[in-house]
Amino acid sequence: MTSLLSRNLSVIIRPVQHRDLDGIERLTQESFSHLSPQEIDAAMAKMQWLRCWYGFIKFLSWFPNPLKYHFWGYVAEQGRMLLGMIQVSPFNRTRSTWRVDKVMLERGVSKQDIGSLLLRYCFESILEARTWLLEVNINDSEALALYRHNGFQRLAEMTYWQITSEALLELIQTEPDLPNLLPVSNADAQLLYQLDTASMPPLVRQVFDRHTHDFKTTIVSGIIDTIQQWITKTEVISAYVFEPQRKAAIGYFQLKIDRTGNNPHLATLTVHPAYTWLYPELLSQLARIAQDFPQQSLQLASYDYQPEREEYLERIGAKRIQHTLIMSRSVWHKIRESKLVSLEGIQWQDMLQGLQPVHKPIPGGMSWGKQTQVKSEIASFSSPNTNIDSSASSDMNNDVIQE
Global pTM reads 0.75
The total of other beta-carbon atoms located within 10 Å of residue 53's CB is 14
DSSP assigned state of 185? -
In the chain, which residues fall in CATH 3.40.630.30?
A: 12-129, 158-332
- Predicted confidence band at 199 (pLDDT cuts at 50, 70, 90)? very high
Residues 49/64, Cβ–Cβ less than 8 Å: no
pLDDT digits (tens, 9 = 90+) for 171-194: 998 888 888 999 999 999 999 999
* 240-264 core/surface letters (b: 16 or more CB in 10 A; e: else): bbbeeeeebbbbbbbbbbbeeeebb
DSSP assigned state of 174? S
Q: Average pLDDT for residues 125-130, to the nearest whole number? A: 91
Q: What percent of the chain has pLDDT over 70?
A: 74
| Angle, helix 390-402 to helix 365-381, in steps of 10 degrees | 150
Residues 238/267, Cβ–Cβ less than 8 Å: no
pLDDT digits (tens, 9 = 90+) for 333-382: 544 433 333 344 444 444 445 555 555 555 555 544 444 454 454 455 44
Integer Cα distance of 13 and 161 in angstroms: 38
**Which CATH code fits 158-332?**
3.40.630.30
Q: Which residue would you say has higher pLDDT here, 396 or 127?
A: 127
Indicate the range of 28-37, 72-81, 286-295, 394-403 predicted with least confidence: 394-403
Q: Which residue would you say has higher pLDDT here, 305 or 9?
A: 305
Q: What percent of the chain has pLDDT over 90?
A: 44
Collapsed DSSP state (helix, strand, coil) of residue 43 = helix
Q: What is the pLDDT of residue 149?
A: 93
Q: What is the pLDDT of residue 227?
A: 84
pLDDT digits (tens, 9 = 90+) for 93-111: 999 999 999 998 888 788 8
Q: What is the pLDDT of residue 48?
A: 74
Q: Average pLDDT for residues 268-289, to the nearest whole number? A: 92
The CATH topology of domain 12-129 is Aminopeptidase (3.40.630)
Q: What is the pLDDT of residue 188?
A: 94
Nearest to residue 160, comparing CAs of 358, 357, 324, 368?
A: 324
The yes-or-no verdict on residue 384 having pLDDT over 60 is no
Helices (H), 329-389: 348-351, 365-381
Q: Average pLDDT for residues 267-281, to the nearest whole number? A: 92
- Predicted confidence band at 38 (pLDDT cuts at 50, 70, 90)? low
- Predicted confidence band at 225 (pLDDT cuts at 50, 70, 90)? confident
The mean pLDDT of the chain is 80
